[in-house]
Structure 1
Amino acid sequence: MGSFPKRKRSSGSEHFFSKNHQLTEVIPAADDSYFIVACYEKFNGSRLRFREVEEEGKWELVEEWGKTIGQLHRITKEYTPSNQVKRPDWNEEELLKIEEFVKSPPQKVLQYRDNVIEQINQLAINSDVFGLIHSDIHSGNFLIENGKINVFDFDDCSYHWFASDIAIALYYTMLGRDYHKEDNREAIANRFLEHFLKGYKTENTIPREAIESIPLFLRLRDIVLYAVINKKLDPDTLDENDRLFIKMVTERVLSQQIIVDLQL
């Protein structure tokens, strides 16, 4: 792949052309859907292991995580898309259409989704709280090199509230702890958010009411994952961890419980 020509570097990793001299290639699938393939130079760095952060006191890495997202949000305030290309709005997310992926979905799940969406629709929309966000910056979508974060996997980018990006970082940090039902989950979540926002605020200001909306976006992420589970996972191929993951998310959505309580 390295023998293929490279696109002229602007910043970050190189983007390779295909042998057809295209930046992307479309690969048809058997069910009439398709995959879009692109090839980038691999980032250097290592994954963030949150256990190491907690056990070794490396909270500066969480602050760097927050700083990186804050920088993205600050930059997006001045971004104007071209007339040809614009990322979708948050409510165009197909995974919110649970009825398309779940046969006879429980009415309480649909009511929960509708209630969460209704509350989100009541939030203020302005350049201080809303813009183009990554929508999936969990620790699997960046690498750390010399204390700095290299972000990738931008395919979920959408116009959304900045608080959603913050909630997603917290959500996936706590998701792994669900497997063990640890007693200190709330304390860890609040400490994570404290350090995350400390870094975030070095790059971007965010109103208090936006921070207070984070629990609402934690609920939205559960609803989206509930749809993902039903759309993408084959019950006949699941291992024990997969089944436990499905059980946790499904039970939270059915009971309308939040993944973790925060002290905001």
Structure 2
Amino acid sequence: MPNKLLFVAVLMLYSTSLLQALQSTLVRYLPCWGMGADCHVSLLSISENATFMVTNANDWHCILRLYRPDYHNDTEILSELEWMLALEKNSIIRIPHIYPTVYGELLTICEIASIRWRIVCFEYLSGSTPSLNAASLEWFEKLGILTAQLHIQSYTWQKPLGFYRKHWTYETMASPQAYFGDWRQVRNLHSTAYRLLERCDYLLKKRLYRLSRQRENYILLHADLRTANLLIDSEYLAVIDFDDCGFSWKALDFANAVSFMEDHPLMPELQQAWLSGYATVTYPSKELISSIELFVMMRRMQLMGWIVTHAETPTAQKLGESHTLGTINLAENFLTKPF
């Protein structure tokens, strides 16, 4: 399990000076992928990882991801890449190609500011992220199709020796030891709201322990199919960022797809569209359908912890108190459900 203190410290390292150091170092590392002096490196985004875009004189692009320290180890990152290679080989879904170095390596190591960073080069995919409106139902149905295809491949794929990814359970998502942070550390949480969320947390834990971990229910998931990781083009819906892929129950893929919009009025329609698309590929099990609300609530609690440990990110700053208030309302509703 990651060291939580170091985890928070690393997140706060994304200062302007560090980002400049990362960018200048990447320029020196470009020859590792056969890229030359005509290439320009620019910051694309920061969240868990620092992501940069490389552009050459012919306007060709690729993506360099620097994995944040103390989250995944090398084995976990290589396992992520192995799954992506398997998906690409079987043409299951549209995902970015991984560019190996000129030495045939998928993962490159460098040291910046006395921290060990891991770098991977990905294909740049064009397209736009989906927006949330009435037209969302069409692409959410497509997402249901895509998710079912991923689930079938995951279930049937023979994992290579040494394959290892994290498990997304109550302990790793909502407990005080959660990977992304502890929701209990949210600032200015009123005692009444805290007790309400504690009751919700207890029910989540109780219900999760009842779920089966049989192989057909508990599989390797993308585990972050939210809109920021989807790209719509005229011909396809592509998926990027497998950084959080791990083992969990199938319904978590829907819950993560509606991250930060769990209280949107379109939620019932989005869920139905997703299930309709899923059913065109394989019938969703009774357990998958019945546990969707459970995982939507647990994901929301997980994101409260994420905001605590990612306070400097644009997403966390934008959400702030409104996300906490929305979570409290969702928890009140969740506790009235007859489970």
Indicate the TM-score class for this superposition, using the shorter chain for normalisation: 0.7 to 0.9
Unpaired runs of 5+ in structure 1? Answer: 178-184
Q: 1:25 aligns with which of 108, 115, 129?
A: 108
Task: Give the superposition deviation at 1:163.
Answer: 0.7
**What TM-score, normalized to structure 2?**
0.60
Residue 250 in structure 1 maps to residue 336 in structure 2: no
Task: Say which SS state the counterpart of residue 90 (structure 1) adopts.
Answer: coil
Residue 50 in structure 1 maps to residue 136 in structure 2: no
Taking only aligned residues, the RMSD between alpha carbons, in angstroms, comes to 3.6
Amino acid at match of 1:214: I
Instruction: Look up the match of 2:277.
Output: 199
Instruction: Look up the match of 2:33.
Output: 4
Instruction: Find the aligned partners of 1:137 and 1:81 in 2 and give their Cα distance.
Output: 21
| Structure in which a larger fraction of residues adopt strand | 2
1:82-101 equivalences in 2 (<5 Å)? 82-91=160-169, 94-98=172-176, 101=181
Bigger Cα displacement from structure 2, 64-73 vs 248-257: 248-257
CA contact (8 A) 1:222 1:252 kept: no
Instruction: Find the aligned partners of 2:242 and 2:183 in 1 and give their Cα distance.
Output: 30
Task: Say which SS state the counterpart of residue 40 (structure 1) adopts.
Answer: strand
Bigger Cα displacement from structure 2, 165-174 vs 101-110: 101-110
Instruction: Find the aligned partners of 2:326 and 2:220 in 1 and give their Cα distance.
Output: 28
Instruction: Look up the match of 1:190.
Output: 268
Q: Deviations over 1:16-35 (max 9, x none)?
A: 234665311234565x7654
Amino acid at match of 2:156: E
Instruction: Find the aligned partners of 1:170 and 1:229 in 2 and give their Cα distance.
Output: 16
Amino acid at match of 2:33: F
Percent of aligned positions that are identical:
20
Task: Give the superposition deviation at 1:115.
Answer: 3.2
CA contact (8 A) 2:220 2:246 kept: yes
How many positions carry a matched residue from both structures? 242
Instruction: Find the aligned partners of 1:97 and 1:202 in 2 and give their Cα distance.
Output: 36
Instruction: Find the aligned partners of 2:169 and 2:110 in 1 and give their Cα distance.
Output: 27
Q: Deviations over 1:78-128 (max 9, x none)?
A: 123223122122238755343685597476355543431221121123344
CA contact (8 A) 1:129 1:206 kept: no
**Higher RCO (CA < 8 A, seq sep 6+):** 1
Residues 5, 16 of structure 1: CA spacing in aligned structure 2 closer, same or farther, 3 A cutoff?
farther
Q: Deviations over 1:29-88 (max 9, x none)?
A: 65x76543211111132221223xx1xx46332211110011101111112322312212
Unpaired runs of 5+ in structure 2? Answer: 1-29, 36-84, 186-190
Residues 202, 35 of structure 1: CA spacing in aligned structure 2 closer, same or farther, 3 A cutoff?
farther
